[in-house]
A and B are shown apart, each in its own frame.
Chain A
Amino acid sequence: MILQTRAIGKAFGSVLALREVSMGVAAGQVTCVLGDNGAGKSTLIKILSGVHRHDAGELLLDGVPVSFASPRAALDHGIATVYQDLAMIPLMSVWRNFFLGSEPRKSFGRFDVATARRVAREELHAMGIDIRDVDQPVGTLSGGERQSVAIARAVHLGARVLILDEPTSALGVKQAGVVLRYIARARDRGLGVVFITHNPHHAYPVGDRFLLLNRGTSLGEYAKADITRERLTSLMAGGAELEQLEHELRRE
């Protein structure tokens, strides 16, 4: 396990946003975090990515307890996070976005523009992302392409753990498929991926482990061998609740 939590918790005032959640992500594996709105998914990833500090339990990096002071600190430890809505800056070109915050430098702090352009093109190509022109503004890319570029960026910048916050939730079926393919590719390059989603149909094909969250607490962490897609879906939707709903909606 690269990154692990042990009975981790976080409270905002009197609200216990997260209680006793244990999960882990290993190199070359995808851990899916599933849960409905308000289940504590975002609180969990914000702890992993250094936005919040946990106030109970332990966060372990390579088996050593850590606590990240800022997203920058997490990034410096190789934990990169791609947020759903703020992954990219729309008015800036693809290559400028690609190296934002980690610009390659020449002497006197000059931005090595030629290298940045070339590497961005090469890396996107290596991930199988077909961007016609790295000079085009990111705003002209589709949502799926943006997520893909953000994933390629994290991979290139040497991330060991990639946290993806609902990368597929705003996308159509086809676009979501494209993003899932890049998640698999990042995994194949040896990264540990934490994939947050509320869609079990996106999670099941690509995931190795599944953490289910409900109302701030864990419903259990399962290896793929221990759970079927149907069971995952029903747990996710709150099983009994779904049956109840089906019953209610049935035509008389």
Chain B
Amino acid sequence: MTAVKADERLADVGRLRRTLIRPELGAVVGAIIVFAFFAAQSPVFRSPAGIANWLDPAATLGIMAVAIALLMIGGEFDLSAGVLTGTTGLILVTLATEYGVNVWLAMLISLAVALGIGSLNGIVVTRTKLPSFIVTLGSFLMLQGINLGVTKLITGTVQVSGLRTAPGFESARVIFAGTIQIGQVHFRVAILWWLTATALATWVLMRTRAGNWIFAAGGNEQAARAVGVPAARTKIALFMTTAFAAWLVGSIMALRYTSVQANIGIGQEFIYIIAAVIGGCLLTGGYGSAIGAAIGAVIFGMADKGIVFLGWDADWFKFFLGAMLLLATLANRLVRRYAEEVKR
């Protein structure tokens, strides 16, 4: 019986380790350290107004990071997500300003285009079985070209602007780009969208069968298919979710600034992926968390604004980006090794 007892004790340690090694753990620890670092040196950073300030970039980045996290858990990448925020914004502003379309209708049309591009990404990836890295790199470059080419064709410049005077602008602005006053501080409404997206994504992952399918499709697609999981459909839906998020962020940005540069969003795709990885997503799929990705986005928001508050050169942000990514990947590898180790 002593052998059995020893076994039980071992299992208890395992349980403790499991609760400690949540996918979000690294991101939470990182966020606390980064907050403490900037808050200790900058009183503005820790003031309510300062918090509202760095939560804003965290929110727009976070909406995308959460969607990308779902996609990565499902085992795929989307490099076209950043440029797609530009595409959706450009469609919205161009339709509303050049063709006099109501802002709401223009948003619907750009949503339809985004979902079309997302499903196309998904269909090509699932049909051809090519790595999504390559497929979406292709759509990334194509969209980049279209964004610039079409904008130049229509306006003769590399930006579209003047959304403010378009019909339906004000009501759309309040909902997507407005602010909410709490006490003396104005918080961007994007923060609410971000929290909603995070809560929704977490619920889908943990409490719906679609969530089970996402983990399975990314964990081992063949095994998932063998027990009847519609892995291809799940992945296409995930690409469409990412496209939806890109539309949301693109619309928020367009309504906020009332103009869109044709080259916007380029380079952002890697930041989404990095935030998701810091949040505990494995690059190989099948593991991760939406909350983690949201916290990963907070870390970026804090670093982005914190470096400015401290009066440092913004170049240091890139260094920070790389260091965080490396640390997060190392932490994730430990998790994976633990989860996949086979007991003798």
Contacts and interface: CB of A to CB of B under 8 A. Distances in A.
A38 interface: no
Given A91-B286, A91-B339, A111-B207, A100 B212 contact: yes
B228 A102 contact: yes
Contacts, number: 97
A103 interface: yes
B342 A143 contact: yes
B228 A111 contact: no
B220 A89 contact: yes
Contacts of B213: 100-101
B18 A105 contact: no
A88 B339 CA distance: 13
A140 B14 contact: yes
Instruction: Point out which of A100, A102, A109, A111 has the most chain B C-beta atoms below 10 A from its C-beta.
Output: A100
A135 B336 CA distance: 16
B157 interface: no
A133 B19 CA distance: 13
B344 interface: yes
Interface stretch (A21-29, A54-62, A79-87): A79-87
B209 A86 contact: no
B215 A91 contact: yes
A91 B336 CA distance: 8
B15 A133 contact: yes
Instruction: Point out which of B14, B15, B210, B228 has the most chain A C-beta atoms below 10 A from its C-beta.
Output: B228
Instruction: Point out which of B15, B225, B227 has the most chain A C-beta atoms below 10 A from its C-beta.
Output: B227
A2 interface: no
A75 B228 contact: yes
Interface string A117-129: 0000000000000
A100 B343 contact: no
Contact of A86 (B226, B287, B336): B226
B341 A140 contact: yes
A203 to B, nearest CB: 23
Contact of A140 (B206, B286, B342): B342
A109 B224 contact: no
A141 B342 CA distance: 6
B168 interface: no
A111 B229 contact: no
A77 to B, nearest CB: 12
Given A90-B339, A91-B219, A92-B215, A136 B226 contact: no
Nearest to B203: A110
Contacts of A132: 8, 11
A111 B224 contact: no
Contacts of B209: 103, 105, 109, 111
A195 interface: no
Given A102-B228, A139-B339, A139-B341, A90 B11 contact: no
Given A133-B11, A139-B339, A99 B212 contact: yes
8 contacts: A89-B219, A92-B215, A96-B216, A100-B227, A100-B229, A101-B213, A110-B207, A135-B18
Interface of A: 71-72, 75, 81, 83, 86-92, 96, 99-103, 105, 109-111, 113, 132-133, 135-137, 139-143
